[in-house]
Structure 1
Amino acid sequence: MARRVPRPAGAGAWGRSMGQGLLRKSKIGDNKSTQVDLWGGACMVRQVENVLLVLEYFAERRAPATVAEMTDHFGWPRSSAFNIVSTLAERGYLYEPRARGAYYPTPRWLTMAQAVSEADPVPAALTRVLDRLVDETGETAWIARASGLHVVMLDVRESPQMLRYVARPGMRLPIHVTGSGQALMARMATAEREALLKRIRYQAYNRNSPMEAETVRQQIADSEERGWFMSNSAFSSDLAGVALPIRIDGHAYAVTTAGPENRFVPRMPEIAAAIRGAVAAECGAGALDMTPLRAEA
């Protein structure tokens, strides 16, 4: 069973929501786990994880917090919380906006994030594709790229509907299980894809999870013949998605739209056409070329 971790801020949604690996939005102070481990059981460095949890905590709280409040929220020893906060403050990542000992992140986080993002930006045309898709389909849409055994969401637009797929930039999903991942695998050279299939740990994430390499190969072949890629309760229950692989400036991306299974599955051909139309309009028809890449630029 995957290790359960506290739900990152921003991974939930207001109201009644659903998401890939996400159950519901928890309240501030509710320390119950609501996200399964999407990192495939990878070992985490505890101190690094705790720093990230502090940042995510502030992103959801949106207000200063004392060391005592963080201790209560995370269930950490006070000394551990104090050491983390003190280190972040000394490095210029937290400050005390008032004299009562409450801390809040400084703009240094934003400055660093912008510098990183500007060095490897998501093409502007793809952000416009996402806007079009949410407007046209009413469902959540995202851009993803391959990262080892996972796909990583680079940009996300959530559906405005109360019942929706919940996602956030940075979310990682198993590459062989999802429509996004199989779309990206289809763009790989055969040798690269086969090497990846040998490294995958096949497990039953959900009722339709592929449990062997041959199943993944067949699903990719079926999707190429159909003209679009899909998943349906392969990773999370009652969620379905449609994806198309595209190529911009020599880089492979997957454009995906997803939503609740009962609402989404009957619309799959329609949504695939919407993705194709949005990509052609914003990126040009050449971006839809299905030829496998020999090597990533």
Structure 2
Amino acid sequence: MLNVDPQKPESTALRAFAVLEYVAHANTPVSLDDVTHACKLPKPTVFRILSMLFEADLVYREPLGKRYTVGARSAALALDVLRHSTLRSQPHTVLQELVDAVGETCNLTILDGNQVLYLDRVETPMPLRLHLEPGTRVPLHCTASGKLFLMNMTQKQIEALIGKPPYKRFTSRTITEWEPLKEELARARETGVGLHDSELFDDSVAIAVPLSDTSGRVYAALALHGPTSRLDIAACLKLLPDLRGAASAIADAMAPLNKQASHVTQSDSAELL
């Protein structure tokens, strides 16, 4: 995290950036006390900064829990930076090569607040496909990538993100209760694979593999999608070696960005709650 000297008046902007940076790096919504402790700033100062960031739509404040997470404006800025960064070209090339090899749509995702955000996506050349643009956001509880982001969280952390069950239903196969979701997340932890079987969209399947840092924090996911007329889960799983090889290559390409966030781990997030 950015270090600032609270005694210097010229550090006001840097203090605000340090607060925003901490909120952005956390895997779960954070409280005023969490930010105060982490940034080593007076509590009234942190409250003013968070209020300012909230008014600017740079952070989002939960209506009841009074915890903070990244706001829509910050997420949009981050996406624009990634789109124009030279660091994006290598992951996109790997993504394109993966689609060329497996013949199905693949996308790179991150956890953005209480949703999955598509950072990049390459569509299959096949005429039958589900078209979604980079920047699209989808739910956590019923997507392959989302389950990977949830799998190492406690029930309390998950409730802080998506609320208590019943979860929103999108299809007849959507998991809407805690116990079946808990079982699905346990399976994802054991196998390292997230699954989607017509849970968000009818007649579609997907698998996802995580991109993790050295501490085990899942900071991104690589997913493969296809219609059920061409694929089922078993057929998707046969493509796991391709998917994992591409995930490793993308992780290497994203290493410079990942190093900047390496001080925030899943265990850090657990301490926040």
Category of TM-score, reference length = shorter chain: 0.5 to 0.7
Deviation, 1:116, is: 3.6
CA distance in 2, matches of 1:155, 1:118: 9
Deviation, 1:257, is: 0.7
Across the aligned residues of Structure 1 and Structure 2, the Cα RMSD in angstroms comes to 3.3
* TM-score, scaled relative to structure 1: 0.53
CA distance in 2, matches of 1:276, 1:115: 24
Q: Deviations over 1:82-111 (max 9, x none)?
A: xxxxxxxxxxxxxxxxxxxxxxxxxxxxxx
Residue number in structure 2 paired with 1:211: 176
Residue number in structure 1 paired with 2:239: 271
* TM-score, scaled relative to structure 2: 0.57
CA distance in 1, matches of 2:248, 2:80: 28
Residue number in structure 2 paired with 1:52: none
CA 236–116 in structure 1, closer or farther in 2 if over 3 Å, else same? closer
The answer on whether the counterparts of 2:168 and 2:176 sit within 8 Å (CA) in structure 1 is yes
CA 245–120 in structure 1, closer or farther in 2 if over 3 Å, else same? farther
CA distance in 2, matches of 1:208, 1:115: 31
Residue number in structure 1 paired with 2:226: 259
Structure 1: any 5+ residue segments left out of the alignment?
1-111
Equivalenced residues, count: 181
Residue number in structure 2 paired with 1:117: 81
The answer on whether the counterparts of 1:150 and 1:172 sit within 8 Å (CA) in structure 2 is yes
User: SS where residue 246 of structure 1 aligns?
Assistant: strand
Larger-Rg structure: 1
Are residues 1:192 and 2:157 paired? yes
CA distance in 1, matches of 2:114, 2:165: 7
CA distance in 1, matches of 2:228, 2:141: 19
User: SS where residue 208 of structure 1 aligns?
Assistant: coil
Structure 2: any 5+ residue segments left out of the alignment?
1-75, 256-264
User: Equivalent residues in 2 for 1:105-144 (5 A)?
Assistant: 116-117=80-81, 121=85, 123-144=88-109
CA 195–268 in structure 1, closer or farther in 2 if over 3 Å, else same? same
CA distance in 2, matches of 1:115, 1:147: 11
Deviation, 1:280, is: 2.3
Deviation, 1:147, is: 2.0
Please point out which of 174, 177, 188 is paired with 2:139. Answer: 174
CA 251–276 in structure 1, closer or farther in 2 if over 3 Å, else same? closer
Please point out which of 121, 125, 137 is paired with 1:156. Answer: 121
The structure whose residues are more often helix, as a share, is: 2
CA distance in 1, matches of 2:235, 2:79: 39
